[in-house]
Structure 1
Amino acid sequence: MLFLLNDVVFDLDEACPAPSHDVRRFECLSFDYVLEMGCELFAEDPLLHHNDPARARRLAWLIAHKAEGVSAALFAAPQAGCAPELVEPRFCALPEIVLRHLHQRARRGALDAATADKTVWSRLAA
């Protein structure tokens, strides 16, 4: 399963990003908790998906497993070190063909924040 986190496409079908004993602990987490954790992570580092891809992939995996059908997440933080309440999270379910297209672009080095934003979130349209 492909998952878009900001402007990085992760393949979540690869080996589980967490040890099996951690996976069992994650089962009791609510989606609201995962959302809060994502906001905290991106408040610390708005470029988490580039600076710590392993951690970002684990977050993407948690979101995908807690929110059925969600295949893309955007965490927009105004600056590093901001309050987590200032991070704007967005989620959507992308068609598999769109995710594959974005994944191919990423593999060619042609996926950036502006392209992902325009393709998925349409925030630049206004």
Structure 2
Amino acid sequence: MRRLPQLTGACLLFLMNDVVLDLDNPKFAPKAMSRRFDALSFNAVTRLGQELYAEEPLLHLTRPDRAKRLAALILAKAPAINAAQFIATRFGGASQDVLVSYRQVDGVVMAQLSLRQDEGELDTLHTDSKVWRRLAA
């Protein structure tokens, strides 16, 4: 029987598309990020994410540190959000063509996703069925 990781206040997990990011590093702490980027609005952070994903549609896979910084900014501006999905609608498209969704995912579901990822079993279809529900017809 698989055991879920302990859910503690120190554990900061964030789902970026279909990858669970661990934001436990102090440099990603929402309060620290919030102070550093007070002038940025949530809409500006969303636009930044769209620009990043327009340039690099698989940012969460190819540049996980950038994805973590983006996740930390999102958390700093909207602490209830712990999942973001950025989908480039076409290769080489403009930032405004990147679709964005945000969710608040239950901690138990997030821990299950993290465990599946650690075991190499997390994929896009499973993440979609648990969180995004884009493929549900």
* TM-score, length of structure 1 as denominator length: 0.90
2:110: which partner in 1? 99
More helix, by proportion: 1
Secondary structure in structure 1 of the residue aligned to 2:120: coil
1:80 and 1:16 map into 2 onto residues whose CA distance is 32
Structure 2: which 5+ residue stretches go unaligned? Answer: 1-11
2:114 and 2:33 map into 1 onto residues whose CA distance is 28
1:25: which partner in 2? 36
Q: How many pairs were matched up? A: 124
Asked if 1:56 is matched to 2:61, the reply is no
Corresponding residue to 2:78 among 64, 67, 70: 67
Corresponding residue to 2:27 among 13, 16, 25: 16
Larger Rg: 2
Moved more, 22-31 or 54-63: 22-31
1:69 and 1:23 map into 2 onto residues whose CA distance is 14
Write out the 4+ residue segments of structure 1 that deviate beyond 3 Å after TM superposition. 21-25
Asked if 1:90 is matched to 2:101, the reply is yes
* TM-score, length of structure 2 as denominator length: 0.83
Shift of 1:65: 1.0
Identical-pair percentage: 46
Shift of 1:48: 0.3
Shift of 1:24: 4.1
Alignment-mate amino acid for residue 48 of structure 2: M
